[in-house]
């Protein structure tokens, strides 16, 4: 079983408006993010206040898409993930990829490669993408999303992490056996590295828009 979780809460303070409703290539940012999972997963969960009005333009109705409102709308991404996974009863082979709702340039082939890598190696619980410009000994923060996880292990880890009072997605990795998918492997599918792009500001949106 392969599923996707789109974290679509928050208040878009740096963007200065309803960020996820902003237009990118003729559809909303959130709809563009959702579209990356079409044909790739057995079901998709959007964690946030509402689905975008144009979600039907990018999603096949035969694949379940579920909205789960955040228990704490401004509790942050880890709390939102705990709210979703806390409701789940994952099977032993269930895999999940977690992304932000503000990642409209995700490349489906990269997400598939993350699923396949995790599926092939039971010794790891989670997988992130190696940043192409991150030096091995860099102190720069690790970009956690997109994050592929074994759902059963992630469920236990996220509930324990939230229970300890921690709030960052990066802290979740401290409880999981994780590795990075080498940049050379995923950039072969996404030469411009667009899968790592997210939209925090209007300038970010302009960089992501075609042209």
Tens-place pLDDT, residues 4-15: 999 998 766 667
CA–CA separation, 60 and 207 (whole Å): 28
Cis peptide before 146 (omega within 30 of 0): yes
pLDDT of residue 138: 56
* Longest Cα–Cα distance in the chain: 46
* Residues 50 and 31 sit within 8 Å (Cβ to Cβ): no
Top-confidence residue, 112 or 76:
112
Domain that holds residue 20: 2-208
Query: Is the pLDDT at 50 greater than 90, yes or no?
Result: yes
Supply the CATH number for residue 57's domain.
3.90.550.10
Average pLDDT, the chain: 92
| Structure confidence by residue, pLDDT tens digits, 150-180 | 999 999 999 999 999 888 899 999 999 999 9
Residue 205 phi/psi, 5-degree rounding, is -65, -40
Question: In total, how many domains does the chain have?
Answer: 1
């Amino acid at each position: 079983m392969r599923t996707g979780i789109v974290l679509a809460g928050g208040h878009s303070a740096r963007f200065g408006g309803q960020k996820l409703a902003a237009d990118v290539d003729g559809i909303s940012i959130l709809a563009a993010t959702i579209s990356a999972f079409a044909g790739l997963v057995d079901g998709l969960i959007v964690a946030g206040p509402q689905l975008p009005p144009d979600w039907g333009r990018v999603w096949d109705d035969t694949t379940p898409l579920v909205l789960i409102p955040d228990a704490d709308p401004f509790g942050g991404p880890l709390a939102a993930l705990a709210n979703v996974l806390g409701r789940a009863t994952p099977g032993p082979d269930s895999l999940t990829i977690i992304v932000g709702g503000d990642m409209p340039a995700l490349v489906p082939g990269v997400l598939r490669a993350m699923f396949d890598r995790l599926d092939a190696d039971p010794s790891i619980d989670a997988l992130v993408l190696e940043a192409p410009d991150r030096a091995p000994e860099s102190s720069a923060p690790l970009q956690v999303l997109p994050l592929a996880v074994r759902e059963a292990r992630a469920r236990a880890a996220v509930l324990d992490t939230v229970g300890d009072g921690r709030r960052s997605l990066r802290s979740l990795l401290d409880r999981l056996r994780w590795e990075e998918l080498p940049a050379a492997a995923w950039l072969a599918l996404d030469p411009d590295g667009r899968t790592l792009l997210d939209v925090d500001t209007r300038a970010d949106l302009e960089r992501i828009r075609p042209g």
